[in-house]
Amino acid sequence: MREGLWVRELSNEEGNKLLRIVRRASGSVVTWRRAQMVLLSAQGMDVAQIARVAFTSPDRVRQVLNNFNDDGFESLYPRYSAGRPPTFTLGQRRQIKRVALSRPVDHGLPFSTWSLTKLAEFLVAEGVVEDISHEGLRKVLNEEGVSFQAIKTFKQSADPDYEAKKNRALELYDIADGKATKAEGDPDVVICMDEFGPLNVMPRPGKQWAPGPALRGMGAKRRRRRATYHRTEGTRHLFAALDLGKDKLYGHVKRRKRRVEFLAFCKYLRTLYPPEVRIGLVLDNFSPTCPAAPTNGSGPGPRPTTSSSPTCRPTPAGSTGSSATSPPCAISPSTALTTRTITNRLT
C-alpha cells in the first residue's frame, strides 16, 4: 500500500482530459502546471519527485492534489479575484458624464468621437479621477444613463447672418400658424418655395395580370418590365411652394430650372391672392433664386450668399410686374436679394 499523498484514481476519460491540457500549446500556464502535477501523481510519482520536476515546493504540490481530490477539474483553473473596485464621488460621476456628452473639439482635441481609451486618458489628464479602467468607465457611464450610440450628421451654414435669417424664417412660421402677432411690414401670407430636379423617368415595380403557377409550370412566362430604355423627352424640374396658412402645395414641372422659370412661378403665386395681400416667400440660396443685382445699372453685382423670406408689396390691379409707377418689392432684413433685382424681374 502506498504511503503519503496521492491523487485519487482517475478514469480513462479524466486521464485523456489531463493529457489534452498538458499537450495543448495555448491556454493558462497555471492550469497547465496544475494538470502536470496531477498527471505525474497519477503516473506514480510521489510529492517530493513532483516538486523537483515542477520546480516548486512540496507544500504547493500537496495543495494542488488536495484541491483536485476535492473539486476535480474545477480546481485546475485559476480564480483571479481583482481588488476592490474604486468608488467615485457624486461630483466625479457628474464630471465624467459631462465630459462624455461633450464634443472632443470643445476641449481642443483633434478628433470627433470619444472612445473609452481616449475618454479615460482625458479624465486622468484633467485630474477628474486618479485612475479608471475602460470597464470601470463603461460601468459608470451605464449607471449614469450614457451609452455609445450612432449619431447623424448635419450641415452648418457659413453665412455670418445665418442666425438672423433663421430667426426671421421661424418668426414667419409663427405668424403663419397664428402663434405670433403680425407686426407692421410683416406679410399676410407666408409661402415656402423650393426646387427639385432633374426628375428622371424611371421604371417602377408594380402589378399586372400574369400566368399563375399552374400555367408557368406549362412553360408560360411572366412578363417583366424593362428597367432601362431610351429617354427621348429629356428630364424635368419641379418648382414647388407650400402655403403655410392653407397647408396647400403648389407645383409646376418645367423643362429647365433657370431664373426665367423661377420668376414665372413667382408670378403664378402672386396671382393666387388679391393685389392688396402682402406675400412673404421663404427661399434657399440656389442660384436661380439669387440673381445678381445690377450695380449702378452698369453690370451685375456680387451674388448673395443666402436669401430667405423676401416679402413683396402688392402690385396694382391688372398688373403682374413692376414699372416706374408700381410700388417696389420690399425685402425683409433677413434676405440677401436686393429690391432692384426683384422689381426688375417680376415684369
Helix (H/G/I), strand (E/B), else coil: 248: strand
Judged against a pLDDT cut of 60, whether residue 74 lies above it is answered with yes
Tell me the pLDDT tens digit for each residue of 24-54.
Answer: 866 777 888 888 899 998 888 889 999 888 8
Alpha-carbon span 228 to 335, nearest angstrom: 43
Comparison of pLDDT for 229 and 67, the residue scoring more: 67
* Tens-digit pLDDT profile for residues 76-113: 888 776 667 678 899 999 999 999 999 998 898 888 88
Using CB atoms within 10 A of its CB, is residue 279 exposed (0-12), middle (13-18) or buried (19+)? buried
How many whole angstroms separate alpha carbon 299 and alpha carbon 306?
A: 21
- Mean pLDDT over 216-241 rounds to 76
pLDDT at position 228, please?
66
Q: Please give the distance of CA 125 from its chain centroid, rounded to a whole number.
A: 29
State how far the alpha carbon of 174 is from the alpha carbons of 165, 169, 178, in Å: 14, 9, 6
Q: What is the spatial distance between Cα 263 and Cα 241, in angstroms, rounded to a whole number?
A: 13
CA dist list (Å): 285 to 251, 289, 336: 19, 6, 9
Least confident stretch, 90-94, 117-121, 302-306: 302-306
Q: Give the pLDDT mean for 190-209.
A: 80
> Given this model, what pLDDT does residue 81 score?
67
| Angstrom distance (rounded) from CA 326 to CA 330 | 12
Is 289 within 8 Å of 269 (Cβ atoms)? no
Position 303 pLDDT exceeds 50: no
Helices 29-42 and 58-71, packing angle to 10 deg: 90
Q: Is 274 a residue whose pLDDT tops 90?
A: yes
Q: Would you say residue 304 has pLDDT above 80?
A: no
Q: With 70 as the cut, is the pLDDT of residue 150 above it?
A: yes
Quick: pLDDT tens for 334-346: 333 333 333 333 4
User: What is the pTM for the complete model shown?
Assistant: 0.41
Give me the mean pLDDT over the 248-266 stretch.
90
